[in-house]
Structure 1
Amino acid sequence: MKNWMMLSCMLLILSGCGNAESVKTLAEPVPDQLLPAQSEGISLALIQDEFEGSPAVIPAIVRNNTDDPYEIGPFYHLEFYKQAQWYIITYSDAVFLLDPHYRDGGIPLEVHSEMAQEFSVENLGVTLCPGKYRLVKTITQRSPYHEITVAVPFTVY
């Protein structure tokens, strides 16, 4: 009986990423299917864009090549490519309770500077199954208020 339960648990764990459809997303695709990696002088780049298995973190660099200061925060979101469209991956709202600083702004991104960040997939409590994804980041300017959203694709094998 003990062996049967252990085998069942192992099969459940292994089947968690048995197909790409097991990634939970919103029902409707995102309205902005075309998000560039660079927009209005703000750019996002990944240190690594291919992962064997679900990564714990995704290292990225955000650059401000403008003459205006912006703000950046630790918040990113992930999208999954299925049925030839991008869909937002869902996760528990508990991440915002566990880290009240998990938001778009708060840290200065000075004029003509860059900042390295690590986006934690692990902290979201999701497992990325094999497929195509994109990391989406919004950078804000306080006065006048302005947002720029950039995204970069990556692959999980």
Structure 2
Amino acid sequence: MKKRWMVMVLLGLIIASACQSNSLSTLDEPVPDQKQPSSADGLSIVLEQTEYPEAPDTMQVTLKNVSEDTYEYGEFFQLEQNLDGKWYIVQYSDAVFYQNPRFTNMGVHLQPGDTVTQIYSPETLDLQLPEGTYRLVKTFTHSDPTYTVSIAAPFRVH
């Protein structure tokens, strides 16, 4: 009888851990900037689609600079998940940065008047997005490296 009980407990733990593989790992503390605009200082971010019936393979993101300044950015997007009304940073595996050294916040210039499209792919970052509310946060630097602008595009997975 004890053996059967142990097998049942072990099987339950295996099933529970398999169900949790679809969850994301977030930082313990919410982000300081709970309100993140989709445009600031002449920069804007727009997702082609903001509602997804299932976890998206890719997401098309449009970045626009209507300011008179040049900003620098890269391929990196910070992903945040809304849990109980607060935003938390989704953690990426360190392997993501080794596999794609261009997944950084620098290297590309967004000139005044420019509009660019980037593709964000949760799948290539080993992320499975369960149902929930998220936002992609993009950070830009200015000629003064201590000055940054962050903007966000919210979306939902049903």
Q: TM-score range by the shorter chain?
A: 0.7 to 0.9
SS in structure 2 of the partner of residue 71 of structure 1: strand
Secondary structure at the counterpart of residue 96 of structure 1: helix
| 2:130 maps to 1:126 | no
Aligned-residue offset at 1:17? 7.3
1:149 corresponds to which residue?
A: 150
User: Residues 110-141 of structure 1, C-alpha deviation per residue, up to 9 Å, x if partnerless?
Assistant: 11111100011112101100010001000122
Cα contact 1:17–1:130 (8 A) shared by 2? no
SS in 2 for 1:97: helix
Larger radius of gyration: 2
Within-5 A mapping of 1:1-157:
15-16=19-20, 22-141=23-142, 143-145=143-145, 146-157=147-158
Displacement of 1:14: 8.0
TM-score, normalization by structure 1: 0.84
Aligned counterpart, 1:6: none
Residues 47-86 of structure 1 deviation map (CA, whole Å, 9 limit, x = unaligned): 0111121111111001111101112210001111011100
The root-mean-square deviation of aligned C-alpha atoms, in Å, is 2.0
Structure 1 residue runs without a partner (length 5+):
1-10
Identity %: 38
Q: Structure 2-normalised TM-score?
A: 0.84
For the 8 Å contact 1:46–1:61, the answer to whether it is kept is yes
The runs of 4+ residues in structure 1 deviating greater than 4 Å are 11-14
Could you say what secondary structure the match of 1:102 adopts?
coil
Structure 2 unmatched runs, 5+: 1-14
Alpha-carbon separation, structure 1, partners of 2:68 and 2:116: 16
| Cα distance in 2 between the residues matched to 1:137 and 1:113 | 16
Deviation at 1:30, TM superposition (A): 0.6
Matched letter for residue 85 of structure 2: A
